[in-house]
């Protein structure tokens, strides 16, 4: 007799363990780990859906008490036991239930209809780009030696630090070929959907048809079809954002995480996993090779590389024959203001754009829209209001008032995310007395309007969250720019990452320090990455490129060192700041977020967490900051608080998480208090 151990698909902690069911004879061959089944559960004579995690042939309790599996869900994918093992790792590493972990690693729930007439997503991209197979350029010596050492690899993850344009994609392709020759499969992870077009186009050009894509914009039916091809071995390469890590390949040989420094590799829903960590686990389980690629490695990964935990591989020159690093110019927007130039464009950027338009070359203008939420700066001298205790910028809160004299909307209160310090919004700049001080706000739409007004003859495209809501819109905009149908592409960080447009010879970074002024401890790292990546889009082909960095704070090391493209010096500089103030990766930091519709209960839970942390883990060296209100204190009628807990040991941090979870559920169990833990 054979039995299946089944995790019931209900989000309740109490049932988060495996239940045993008898496998009926007719299903014997088809019930394997990873499939979904219907099983009787609970008192109600109702069947529930569950995941089979394992098969066994003996049980410790009387046979007659064991119920049979009722049915197998149709078209179950055979995903193998590897992904279930991975789910178990995630449940313990991120403190989630096994059910949640399984939901994440076995994401295709059911097939909704059959969509035979729809074109395969990979074919859609090929058609748009008109890409044809190419004769390959040989690897250059730098690329060849990197490939050789990766293939000789000892099993450690590899950090491939290659400057922008050094041809990392070419290296990935070579590695994938080796895998294919050995009958092995590859997962290529990209930080966001907008990069699918570029990556798939490049890969299919070199690798032909055995490439598939996976991302959230595919329908359930399309997703199922891609996964089925993977499970059946019809393809060797899967490309997609972080969830593609869970592709059910049975002969995985390589995982590539491109642009590994991107924050999108950190999941923002439970389980709040770090893709790099889970990928390392999957690679270790299967003996696959893991390659993390970036021109601006995260401080965390570079630290691991320096410690020998990762194998460091470096590429320092641009690959395209004749391509040079672009010339980089910094313009000081405070001086522009002094000279009476109040437009978004500095004199230099205006001149250079006109020049490119005349020469029929392309321009990219980049504005980091996400970065500026709420920070307050002086338009005359560039001063940003910072917390006196934490050296991070203060954030303007959601409570606004109308200035009685000017009729302007003003933020009434500034606060610090880290220590909770608050102060009133000043009416003039504390440095220079200028009245032009306000929460910063300029968006891509405004930028587009300004560009159209200044360059009426130019053809302009805009790519941001608003212009890409329709299915296929990323591909449309990017392919249109690629084909030279527009002169200027305006966008948010979406246009910065990884794109390769050889005709772009000018990149304008419109407000380079916007991202310096978020209230995050890693604001400088983000800024350095954004400027370096944006600058890296210019002059990738045979024509020389320029980059204009517009800044209110040109003396900041993140701006200066990005302009010099000097990653190593930035790393040293930034790490000394992290060590001084005890921020990751110098130590581990856990964010504990607490929310409830009941304001008192939110406060009570936060206090309880703080008290336990100090009492039980203070002596072991845990550092507690907070609790304080989240920057947006109330969302959807929920009151939100946050605590930061720091410790040098990952195990202790995880132990604190377990203790807090237990204590909070003992005190508030059944009542509506939610907690979320993020460890960095």
How far is Cα of residue 436 from the mean position of the Cα atoms in its chain? Answer: 35
Query: Which residue from 115, 91, 116 is spatially nearest to 104, judged by alpha carbons?
Result: 91
> Length of the chain, please?
680
Provide, rounded to whole angstroms, the least separation between the CB of residue 541 and ligand ADP. 7
> Could you tell which of Zn ion, ligand ADP, none binds residue 164, using a CB distance below 5 to 8 A set by kind?
ligand ADP
What is the 3-state composition of the chain as percent helix, strand, coil, each rounded to the nearest 5? 35, 25, 40
Provide, rounded to whole angstroms, the least separation between the CB of residue 143 and ligand ADP. 6
Q: What is the spatial distance between Cα 147 and Cα 313, in angstroms, rounded to a whole number? A: 9
Give the nearer residue to Zn ion in terms of CB position, either 276 or 334: 334
> Could you tell which of Zn ion, ligand ADP, none binds residue 319, using a CB distance below 5 to 8 A set by kind?
ligand ADP
> Could you tell which of ligand ADP, Zn ion, none binds residue 169, using a CB distance below 5 to 8 A set by kind?
ligand ADP
Provide, rounded to whole angstroms, the least separation between the CB of residue 172 and ligand ADP. 8
Q: What is the spatial distance between Cα 621 and Cα 180, in angstroms, rounded to a whole number? A: 50
> Could you tell which of Zn ion, ligand ADP, none binds residue 170, using a CB distance below 5 to 8 A set by kind?
ligand ADP
Q: Is residue 378 part of the contact set for Zn ion (CB under 5 A)?
A: yes
Q: What is the spatial distance between Cα 48 and Cα 39, in angstroms, rounded to a whole number? A: 5
Which residue of 10, 73, 312, 381 would you call a contact of Zn ion, by CB under 5 A?
Answer: 381
Provide, rounded to whole angstroms, the least separation between the CB of residue 321 and ligand ADP. 6
> Could you tell which of ligand ADP, Zn ion, none binds residue 353, using a CB distance below 5 to 8 A set by kind?
none
Count of residues near Zn ion by CB under 5 A: 15
> Could you tell which of ligand ADP, Zn ion, none binds residue 165, using a CB distance below 5 to 8 A set by kind?
ligand ADP
Separation in Å, CA 399 to CA 354, 374, 402, 411, 647: 42, 11, 10, 6, 34
Q: Taking CB under 5 A as the rule, which mask of x and - marks residues 71-100 in contact with Zn ion?
A: ------------------------------
* Site residues (vs ligand ADP, CB under 6 A): 137, 139-140, 143, 162, 164-170, 319-321, 498, 500, 502, 540
Provide, rounded to whole angstroms, the least separation between the CB of residue 384 and Zn ion. 10
Residue 395: Cβ-neighbour burial (10 angstroms; 0-12, 13-18, 19+): buried
Q: What is the 3-state secondary structure (H, E, C) of 295-315?
A: CCCCHHHHHHHHHCCCEEEEE
Provide, rounded to whole angstroms, the least separation between the CB of residue 420 and Zn ion. 7
Query: Which residue from 639, 656, 638 is spatially nearest to 647, judged by alpha carbons?
Result: 656
Q: What is the spatial distance between Cα 34 and Cα 77, in angstroms, rounded to a whole number? A: 8
Give the nearer residue to ligand ADP in terms of CB position, either 379 or 497: 497
Which residue of 235, 357, 429, 656 would you call a contact of Zn ion, by CB under 5 A?
Answer: 429
Query: Residue 38: phi, psi to the nearest 5?
Result: -100, 130
Separation in Å, CA 140 to CA 143, 146, 164: 5, 10, 15
Q: Is residue 418 part of the contact set for Zn ion (CB under 5 A)?
A: yes
Q: Is 56 helix (H, G, I), strand (E, B) or coil?
A: strand
Instruction: Name 362's bridge partners.
Output: 504
Q: What is the spatial distance between Cα 440 and Cα 491, in angstroms, rounded to a whole number? A: 18
How far is Cα of residue 248 from the mean position of the Cα atoms in its chain? Answer: 22
Q: Is residue 422 part of the contact set for Zn ion (CB under 5 A)?
A: no
DSSP annotation of 558? H
Instruction: Name 313's bridge partners.
Output: 160
Instruction: Name 384's bridge partners.
Output: 377
Provide, rounded to whole angstroms, the least separation between the CB of residue 372 and ligand ADP. 27
Q: What is the 3-state secondary structure (H, E, C) of 168-202?
A: HHHHHHHHHHHHHHCCCEEEEECCCHHHHHHHHHH
Is-contact 508 364, C-beta < 8 A? yes
Query: Which residue from 369, 371, 339, 365 is spatially nearest to 352, judged by alpha carbons?
Result: 365
> Could you tell which of Zn ion, ligand ADP, none binds residue 143, using a CB distance below 5 to 8 A set by kind?
ligand ADP
Q: Is residue 434 part of the contact set for Zn ion (CB under 5 A)?
A: yes
Q: What is the spatial distance between Cα 673 and Cα 670, in angstroms, rounded to a whole number? A: 8
Give the nearer residue to ligand ADP in terms of CB position, either 319 or 512: 319
Q: Is 516 helix (H, G, I), strand (E, B) or coil?
A: helix
Provide, rounded to whole angstroms, the least separation between the CB of residue 423 and ligand ADP. 43
Which residue of 390, 510, 558, 643 would you call a contact of Zn ion, by CB under 5 A?
Answer: 390
Give the nearer residue to ligand ADP in terms of CB position, either 126 or 500: 500
Q: What is the spatial distance between Cα 451 and Cα 442, in angstroms, rounded to a whole number? A: 13
Provide, rounded to whole angstroms, the least separation between the CB of residue 139 and ligand ADP. 5
Provide, rounded to whole angstroms, the least separation between the CB of residue 532 and ligand ADP. 11
Provide, rounded to whole angstroms, the least separation between the CB of residue 522 and ligand ADP. 22
Is-contact 165 319, C-beta < 8 A? yes
Provide, rounded to whole angstroms, the least separation between the CB of residue 164 and ligand ADP. 5
Instruction: Name 588's bridge partners.
Output: 647
The stretch among 377-385, 509-517, 568-576, 646-654 that binds Zn ion (CB under 5 A) is: 377-385
Sheet containing strand 395-396, edge to edge, reads 395-396, 413-415, 422-424
> Could you tell which of Zn ion, ligand ADP, none binds residue 416, using a CB distance below 5 to 8 A set by kind?
Zn ion
> Could you tell which of ligand ADP, Zn ion, none binds residue 381, using a CB distance below 5 to 8 A set by kind?
Zn ion
Provide, rounded to whole angstroms, the least separation between the CB of residue 109 and ligand ADP. 35
Give the nearer residue to ligand ADP in terms of CB position, either 72 or 173: 173
The stretch among 15-23, 296-304, 386-394, 464-472 that binds Zn ion (CB under 5 A) is: 386-394
The stretch among 79-87, 372-380, 499-507, 552-560 that binds Zn ion (CB under 5 A) is: 372-380
Give the nearer residue to Zn ion in terms of CB position, either 112 or 632: 632
Is-contact 237 189, C-beta < 8 A? no
Give the nearer residue to Zn ion in terms of CB position, either 413 or 544: 413
Which spans of this chain sit near Zn ion (rule: CB under 5 A)? 378, 380-381, 383, 387, 389-390, 416, 418-419, 421, 429, 431-432, 434
């Amino acid at each position: 007799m054979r039995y299946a151990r089944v995790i019931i698909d209900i989000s309740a902690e109490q049932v988060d363990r495996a239940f045993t069911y008898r496998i009926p004879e007719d299903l014997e061959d088809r019930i394997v780990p990873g499939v979904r089944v219907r099983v009787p559960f609970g008192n109600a004579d109702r069947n529930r859906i569950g995941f089979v995690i394992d098969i066994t042939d003996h049980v410790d309790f009387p046979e007659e008490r064991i119920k049979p599996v009722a049915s197998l869900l149709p078209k179950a994918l055979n995903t193998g036991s590897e992904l279930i093992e991975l789910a178990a790792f995630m449940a313990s590493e991120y403190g989630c239930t096994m059910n949640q972990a399984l939901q994440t690693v076995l994401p295709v729930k059911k097939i909704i209809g059959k969509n035979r007439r729809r074109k395969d997503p990979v074919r859609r991209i090929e058609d748009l780009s008109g890409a044809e197979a190419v004769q390959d350029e040989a690897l250059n010596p730098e690329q060849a030696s990197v490939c050789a050492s990766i293939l000789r690899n000892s099993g450690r993850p590899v950090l491939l630090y290659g400057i922008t344009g050094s041809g990392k994609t070419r290296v990935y392709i070579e590695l994938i070929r080796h895998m294919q020759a050995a009958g092995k499969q590859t997962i290529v992870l990209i930080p966001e959907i907008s990069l699918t077009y570029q990556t798939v186009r490049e890969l299919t050009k070199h690798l032909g048809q055995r490439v598939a894509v996976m991302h959230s914009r595919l329908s359930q039916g399309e997703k199922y079809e891609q996964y089925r091809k993977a499970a059946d071995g019809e393809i060797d390469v899967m490309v997609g954002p972080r969830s593609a890590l869970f592709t059910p390949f049975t002969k995985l040989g390589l995982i590539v995480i491109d642009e590994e420094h991107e924050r999108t590799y950190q999941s923002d829903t439970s389980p709040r996993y770090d893709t790099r960590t889970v990928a390392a686990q999957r690679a270790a389980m299967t003996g696959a090779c893991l390659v993390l690629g970036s021109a601006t490695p995260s401080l965390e990964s570079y630290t691991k590389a320096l410690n020998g935990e990762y194998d460091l591989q470096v590429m320092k020159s641009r690959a395209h024959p004749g391509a040079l690093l672009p010339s980089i110019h910094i313009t000081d927007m405070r001086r522009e203001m002094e000279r009476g130039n109040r437009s978004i464009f500095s004199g230099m950027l205006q001149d250079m754009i006109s020049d490119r338009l005349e020469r029929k070359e392309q321009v990219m203008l980049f504005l980091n829209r996400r970065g500026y939420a709420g920070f307050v700066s002086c338009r005359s001298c560039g001063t940003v209001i910072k917390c006196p205790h934490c050296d991070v910028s203060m954030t303007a809160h959601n409570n606004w008032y109308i200035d009685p004299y000017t009729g302007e909307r003003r933020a009434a209160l500034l606060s610090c995310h880290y220590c909770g310090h608050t102060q009133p919004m000043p009416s003039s700049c504390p440095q220079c007395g200028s009245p032009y001080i306000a929460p910063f706000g300029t968006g891509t739409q405004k930028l587009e309007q300004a560009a159209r007004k200044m360059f009426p003859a130019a053809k302009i495209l805009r790519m941001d969250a608003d212009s890409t809501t329709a299915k296929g819109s990323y591909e449309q905009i990017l392919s249109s720019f690629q084909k030279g149908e527009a002169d200027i592409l305006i966008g948010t960080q979406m246009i910065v990452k990884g794109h390769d447009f050889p005709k772009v010879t000018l990149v304008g970074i419109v407000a380079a320090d916007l991202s310096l002024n978020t209230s995050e401890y890693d604001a400088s790292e983000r800024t350095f990455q954004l400027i370096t990546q944006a600058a890296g889009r210019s002059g990738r082909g045979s024509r020389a490129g320029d980059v204009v960095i517009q800044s209110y704070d040109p003396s900041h090391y993140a701006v200066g060192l990005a302009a010099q493209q000097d990653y190593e010096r930035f790393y040293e500089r930034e790490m000394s700041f992290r060590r001084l103030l005890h921020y990751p990766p110098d130590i581990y930091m856990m964010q504990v977020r607490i929310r409830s519709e009941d304001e008192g209960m939110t406060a009570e839970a936060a206090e309880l967490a703080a008290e336990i942390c100090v009492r039980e883990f203070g002596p072991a060296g845990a550092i507690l900051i907070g609790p304080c209100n989240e920057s947006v204190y109330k969302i959807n009628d929920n009151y939100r608080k946050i605590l930061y807990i720091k410790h040098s040991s990952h195990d202790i941090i995880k132990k604190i998480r377990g203790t807090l979870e237990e204590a909070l559920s003992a005190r508030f169990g059944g009542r509506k208090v939610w907690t979320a833990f993020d460890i960095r």
